[in-house]
Amino acid sequence: GRQGPTVLMINDLWYKNAVIYCLSVATYMDANGDGVGDFAGLMRRLDYLSGLGVTAIWLMPFQASPCRDDGYDVSNYYEVDARYGTLGDFVEFTHAAKQRGIRVIIDLVANHTSDQHPWFMEARRNPKSMYRDWYVWSKKKPRGSNKGMAFPGVQKSTWSYDSVARAWYFHRFYDFQPDLNTSNPHVQAEILKIMGFWIQLGVSGFRMDAVPFVIATKGPQVRNPVEQYDMLRMMREFLQWRQGDAIILAEANVLPDTDMEYFGREGDRMHMMFNFQVNQNLFYALAASDARPLQKALKATKPRPKTAQWGMFLRNHDELDLGRLTKQQRKTVFKAFGPEPAMQLYDRGIRRRLAPMLENDRRRIELAYSLMFTLPGTAVLRYGDELGMGDNLALPERQCARTPMQWSTEPNAGFTKSKKPISPVISVGPCGYEHVNAAQQRRDPNSMLNWTERIIRMRKEVPEVGWGDFEILTTRDVSVLAIRYDWRNNSVLFVHNLASTPREVSLSVGIAGESSRLLVNLLSEDHSQAKAGGKHRFMLEAYGYRWFRVGGLDYLLKRSDIETESADRVTPRRQRSRRGPVAR
């Protein structure tokens, strides 16, 4: 065997290879028939989720709220909104999830509250109240109040006048979402208290909303906000002390050169971040059949501490933001996936669901999902995408892609017994619930649902993706993306054809030794044997994808439970392979 010290590494960071499923309680399952989804309904669907293979659920905001931004306007952080149930129902739910080995993470909306929150009401009413300084005020209309809107188009300014307070208040988002003065130590303490509260009720962490704005300096004088990264360390430290395996998944759509600031160079800030850079370039890659910008994005977001992880996603509950692409690239994506004005959200992005964007073409949907599951990180799915659910463009803004889950062919897709669902169920077109629903797909072995279940099962058998180091292989074909992962002397290889035409792929696996002569196809029987020169050559059908294990033995047999070197490879690949094949 290999020489060297045996180092037992932390090898149970659950989020490194989780399958996260995001849902909104309001639109998932209504148990009491009032038209609004609830925790009791969600609980009845836990076996469905467990069968699908998800290992963590991310709940969108469900706390008390006037719901003018789908719950991202909280009026009481310590209450479940009565429409969804009680705190008791919530605890029953987290407990039931835990019994099935499913973790729960919840949205933490700490940048702003609802304008109906008692803190804000008190702050506006009484300038002497301690809550006054929990928000961000200005006596005069600040300069630049028409800049920096998070929702340009729907939102006209970031400062609004409040006649009760007789002052202007700051709001990065809608005017009913006043920003908290997050630099105020009392506000910070309250945020920690909120985290501590939900941790105590059984959650495994938080999807933290709008992180760059949470940590930004705010005020009428602030022209260029500065990020106070230390706040992130403080939150992490608190959380880790309260519960060692709890995580924060940050929503931070930032440039790659600040990623490390968010993760923390010592891995002491955010555990996870959504990879927006890869997300946008992935859609460009799909639109243009060109893998190059995606490869660039993967390289740019490669550096991260070894305990950190990327959240990989396709679509979420917001629009597909294209702000990181060049003008030309953006044009290409709009043309391919959102050509009509109704599909767009101003110039910000595309507001559609995945399946209709890809013209309900199963080949393209599988390709997109195969990519999501095999790019470096942890997959975050959106409810309904496992069925290929669609959107309703007649609904305003982002509502179009937030319609109720389609369970069956019963009225209102089996989501509710009420005749008045909280949001209309999609009932017309190819994505209507009579064609797209869980009950039918469960019985059809070739359904999208069963495909998703199988791909999740296989994803769990390639832990290299979550833990390993990756290398992008050269294929000389801009439409073909080939990535190899190495971890604990094991390697897996994923090849994707972004083009609408078949491609012959020729590649070297890039590792020396016998093992790279055989590529075992994990999804079907066409394995690949290297040609005389050591290269592999095989055909990929239009939009085709392959998952290979290098060398072929089942990873369970080859895998060692103890790491013989640091989880992040210290020795560069090439140097290692010159020493010849690695003993197992």
Least separation in angstroms between residue 463's CB and ligand NOJ is 29
Residues 6+ apart with CB under 8 A from 25: 37, 38, 39, 41, 42, 59, 60, 62, 84
Minimum CB distance to ligand NOJ smaller for 210 or for 372: 210
Least separation in angstroms between residue 69's CB and ligand NOJ is 5
Q: Which two tokens stand for residue 359?
A: 């013209």
Q: Is the dihedral of CA 68, 70, 73, 74 positive or negative?
A: positive
For ligand NOJ, the binding residues in 443-482 under the rule CB under 6 A are none
Task: Indicate which single residue of 72, 334, 487, 494 sits in contact with ligand NOJ (rule: CB under 6 A).
Answer: 72
Give dist(CA 471, CA 465) in Å, integer.
11
Site string (230-269) toward ligand NOJ, x via CB under 6 A: ---------------------x------------------
Residue 69 in the binding site for ligand NOJ (CB under 6 A): yes
Least separation in angstroms between residue 317's CB and ligand NOJ is 6
Minimum CB distance to ligand NOJ smaller for 268 or for 318: 318
Q: Are strands 378-382 and 19-23 parallel, antiparallel or unpaired?
A: parallel
Task: Indicate which single residue of 19, 64, 109, 405 sits in contact with ligand NOJ (rule: CB under 6 A).
Answer: 109
> DSSP assignment of 86-112, as one string?
-HHHHHHHHHHHHHTT-EEEEEE--SB
Minimum CB distance to ligand NOJ smaller for 313 or for 538: 313
Least separation in angstroms between residue 477's CB and ligand NOJ is 36
Minimum CB distance to ligand NOJ smaller for 211 or for 371: 211
Three-state secondary-structure class, residue 418: coil
Minimum CB distance to ligand NOJ smaller for 151 or for 487: 151
Catalytic residues: 209, 251
At residue 234, what are phi and psi to the nearest 5 degrees? -60, -45
Total binding residues toward ligand NOJ, as defined by CB under 6 A: 9
Minimum CB distance to ligand NOJ smaller for 210 or for 308: 210
Task: Indicate which single residue of 108, 191, 210, 354 sits in contact with ligand NOJ (rule: CB under 6 A).
Answer: 210
Q: Is 88 exposed, middle or buried (0-12, 13-18, 19+ CB in 10 A)?
A: exposed
Give dist(CA 205, CA 246) in Å, integer.
5
Q: Are strands 545-550 and 518-521 parallel, antiparallel or unpaired?
A: antiparallel
Give dist(CA 139, CA 411) in Å, integer.
54
Residue 168 in the binding site for ligand NOJ (CB under 6 A): no
Residue 173 in the binding site for ligand NOJ (CB under 6 A): yes
Least separation in angstroms between residue 63's CB and ligand NOJ is 12
Three-state secondary-structure class, residue 425: coil
Least separation in angstroms between residue 372's CB and ligand NOJ is 18
Nearest C-alpha neighbor of 554 from the set 527, 520, 526, 512 = 520
Q: What is the dihedral of CA 356, 374, 257, 61, to 10 degrees?
A: 60
Give dist(CA 392, CA 555) in Å, integer.
44
Site string (312-341) toward ligand NOJ, x via CB under 6 A: -----xx-----------------------
Give dist(CA 533, CA 518) in Å, integer.
13
Q: Which residues bind ligand NOJ (CB under 6 A)?
A: 69, 72, 109, 173, 209-210, 251, 317-318
